[in-house]
Amino acid sequence: MSKIRKSVFELEEYIPGEQPNDDAIKLNTNENPYLPSPEVLDILREIDISDLSLYPDPNCLELRKVIADLHQCSIDQIFVGNGSDEILALAIRAYVERDSKVGYLAPSYSLYSVLTEIEDIEHEVVFLDDGFNFKIPENLDSSLFLLANPNAPTGIFMDVESINCFADNYKGVLLIDEAYVDFAEDNCLDLAFKHSNVIITRSLSKSYSLAGIRCGYCVGSADLINALYKIKDSYNVNYITQELARVALLDQATMRANVEAIKETRNLVFEKLTDLGYEVYESQTNFLWFKPLGIKAAKLFELLKERNIYIRYFSASSRTDDYLRVTIGTASEMFTFLDALDEIINSES
């Protein structure tokens, strides 16, 4: 008999995008190609080494004050995690009974199903239609629904009013994962204040160019937030991360400028891919979801990789295996990507 718990032994773990360590063009994990706020470097240089021998603030008070100020709410409505991924895992543990279910869309962020399986909890899957859209599901019996908006890997934004109705009809906790929301035209923050069953998560990994420090936070009613504090690791967010995240969030201008640059490049790449006859989805994120024409997605993925350009291919489901996802890098990286596409198309035909 296995020494490993059954749900873990049988688990198909989450596989993050590859991190090639040479000079590859990396357009596969939705990282931001631009530098974070210059304040981050300043504070990093000023960190007193003797502070590292002490445990960090378990409650992230200074950081939460900055976030509460940013969103005009009280610090009891804010939880900070070691990346928003940690918050997703804690939410399942805090809000879902063993014999209940976790709901999510498919396709969506594939970590949702993995986290659910780790906890040995049942899934309630809501499938998107052929255009990757969904109607508000009714009569769900899960106690937690994980909803990425904008969705990943499609980049599609669902309008706030529809999600407002979803929250009204849903009996459980609706967690709106806004990892990409700074690239979108709108957001669901107000729903977290309006509905006692809504929590929204944000991340510093994408728009703030800080995937390496692991910081995410969520906003919701004090009750929901307090439950997360009860079960988290005592020191879940390290001292350096708390310091760097604080100054990065105070500098909204740098984040906004980087986001604008990425959106401009995104529009240009959207046009180019559309001109090739590819089916490209309107994105409100820092990536594009597309179906190539005249070449299989899997093949195009491999041929780009041979040219040291990494994008993302989701082979696991028949719903996604004709599509590819490309992160928007710098304009220069994207020209290299587009040139490689041209070259591949010409050599294939």
Comparing CB distances to ligand PLP, the nearer of 199 and 341 is 199
Comparing CB distances to ligand PLP, the nearer of 29 and 59 is 29
123 near 92, Cβ under 8 Å?
Answer: no
Minimal distance in Å, beta carbon 4 to ligand PLP?
25
Minimal distance in Å, beta carbon 345 to ligand PLP?
29
Minimal distance in Å, beta carbon 287 to ligand PLP?
9
CA dihedral in degrees (342, 343, 344, 346; nearest 10)?
80
Residues making contact with ligand PLP (CB under 6 A): 30, 83-85, 109, 148, 152, 177, 179, 203, 205, 211, 216
CA dihedral in degrees (199, 154, 315, 140; nearest 10)?
40
113: tokens are 């199903």
Cβ-closest position to ligand PLP: 83
Integer Cα distance of 321 and 128 in angstroms:
15
Minimal distance in Å, beta carbon 83 to ligand PLP?
3
Integer Cα distance of 246 and 224 in angstroms:
23
309: tokens are 């350009």
Minimal distance in Å, beta carbon 220 to ligand PLP?
16
Based on its alpha-carbon atoms, the radius of gyration of the chain, rounded to whole angstroms, reads: 21
Comparing CB distances to ligand PLP, the nearer of 195 and 206 is 206
Comparing CB distances to ligand PLP, the nearer of 143 and 203 is 203
276 near 341, Cβ under 8 Å?
Answer: yes
Minimal distance in Å, beta carbon 150 to ligand PLP?
8
Among 284, 5, 226, smallest CA distance to 119 is for 5
Comparing CB distances to ligand PLP, the nearer of 18 and 223 is 18
Comparing CB distances to ligand PLP, the nearer of 31 and 117 is 31
